[in-house]
Chains A and B, each alone.
Chain A
């Protein structure tokens, strides 16, 4: 059973398009995250949700909009994609009040 799943695994699209990445966790965790990993493998937090409430919004362009329909799901919608958005996006979850995180397999986004 997959603990944290993301779809799609790969996403290739053109500049200016709008795309979404979906994430689901079956661990019963209260907190979910989106991270961006660049070509140098640096992982940076983008958003954090706790029980469907946004608690962290780092300096991310407002073209990125997270949506949490329930505490098991956190989707990421990206408008007007740019070349610089190409990266691997990871969803993660963690139990309430604990720092350890469980990551999904990642979505490799390529903008051409």
Chain B
């Protein structure tokens, strides 16, 4: 059983479209992070959200932490081929280690 479930698992869209990726859990996290991983490389941190209800923006990416700190979403506006990659959410339960989600593989077609 996955502690953090991401949906969708796969997403293939055209350049310019909008999309939302969800990260859900029944557990409460002290913080939640989003990473992007490209083939042959390690995950790279995009953002950390800490407060319930918090919204953070990173250019065309908008991240939201659920009010109860159990879920999060990542919204991309006007997706570009450079956004292609594996998106991973990761929850911090205060154990000094992250629990990673199942991942969402995004493909943006030009």
Residue of B nearest to A49 (CB): B96
A106 to B48, CA, bound (A): 22
Encode A27-64 as 1/0 by CB contact (under 8 A) with B.
Answer: 00001010100001111110010100001100000000
- Are A105 and B40 in contact, CB atoms less than 8 angstroms apart? yes
Please provide the chain A residues from 87 to 112 with a CB less than 8 Å away from any CB of chain B in the complex. 90, 92, 94, 99-106
Among A41, A42, A45, A90, the most chain B Cβ lie within 10 Å of the Cβ of A41
- Are B41 and A42 in contact, CB atoms less than 8 angstroms apart? no
- Are B33 and A100 in contact, CB atoms less than 8 angstroms apart? yes
- Are B42 and A103 in contact, CB atoms less than 8 angstroms apart? yes
Q: How many A-B residue pairs have CB under 8 A?
A: 59
Residue of A nearest to B93 (CB): A99
A50 CB contacts on chain B under 8 angstroms: 96
B96 CB contacts on chain A under 8 angstroms: 31, 48, 50, 55-56, 94, 99
A4 at the interface (CB under 8 A from B): yes
Which residue of the partner chain, among B41, B45, B90, B100, contacts A102 with CB atoms under 8 Å?
Answer: B45
Residue of B nearest to A30 (CB): B96
Smallest beta-carbon distance A107→chain B, Å: 10
B86 at the interface (CB under 8 A from A): yes
Encode B92-110 as 1/0 by CB contact (under 8 A) with A.
Answer: 1001111110110100000
A45 to B30, CA, bound (A): 18
Smallest beta-carbon distance B45→chain A, Å: 5
- Are A101 and B45 in contact, CB atoms less than 8 angstroms apart? yes
- Between A and B, 8 residue pairs with Cβ closer than 8 Å are A44-B100, A56-B96, A56-B97, A99-B96, A100-B48, A103-B43, A106-B40, A106-B41
Which positions in B face A, CB cutoff 8 Å?
30-31, 33, 35, 37, 40-45, 48, 86, 88, 90, 92, 95-100, 102-103, 105
List 4 additional A-B contacts (Cβ < 8 Å) besides A35-B100, A100-B48. Answer: A40-B102, A42-B102, A99-B30, A99-B98
